[in-house]
Amino acid sequence: MTYDPTGPESQITLTRTIAAPVEDVFAAWTDPAILEQWQADEVENEPFEGGEYRYLLQGDAEDPTDRVVTGRYLEYVENTRLVMSWLVSADEDERETDAEQIFVLEVDFRELSGGSTAITIIERGAAHADPESRIFSIEAWSLAIEHLAELIE
C-alpha cells in the first residue's frame, strides 16, 4: 500500500458547533490560561504565525505516561484559522525517535448566526494511515472539544 499524504486515509476531520462567540472560541485555542482548563496541564504559547508552543499532558491512573506536544504556528488568522505543526512524544528525551508522532493540525472558526461558532478540525499525518490511529484521534479530539464546549458555553 502506498501512503498518500493528501489522501483521506491520512487525516481525520471533525466539525462541531459551540454556543459561544467566535472570539471566545478562538481565545480558548490561543490563551494559555484557557488552554490549561481544557487542553493541557501546562501550556507555553507564542500565539502568532511562526510562534512556538509546548503543552504538557500529565498521565493519569489509566495511562501514567506524560505526553509533550510541541509545534509551531504555520498560519495564524485571528478568529478565523490556525494551522499548527503538532509533534507528540511520550517524553521530551524521546524526540527524534520512533516514539513521536508528527501531524499538521488545521482549525477553522466560522461565526454563525445567534452568536455560535462552527469549528472544523483537520489533523493530517502518516500515523493516520493506521485505522486505529484515526479512531484514537477522533475519540481524543471529540472528548477535548466536548470539554471546551462545557467550559465556554
Mean confidence (pLDDT) of the chain: 86
The answer to whether domain 8-152 has CATH 3.30.530.20 is: yes
Residues in CB range of 69: below 8 A, 6 or more apart: 40, 53, 54, 55, 57, 86, 87, 88
pLDDT band at 5 (very low <50, low <70, confident <90, very high): very low
Alpha-carbon distance 139 to 145, whole Å?
A: 10
pLDDT band at 149 (very low <50, low <70, confident <90, very high): very high
CB 19 within 8 A of CB 115: yes
Closest CA to 99 of 107, 108, 86, 88: 88
Amino acid in position 104: V
- What is the per-residue pLDDT for 94? 46
pLDDT digits (tens, 9 = 90+) for 76-85: 999 999 999 9
Closest CA to 25 of 108, 125, 98, 84: 108
> Which helix or strand (DSSP H or E) is residue 143 part of?
helix 131-152
**DSSP class of 146:** H
Domain boundaries, the chain: 8-152
Task: Assess whether pLDDT exceeds 60 at residue 99.
Answer: no
- What is the per-residue pLDDT for 8? 57
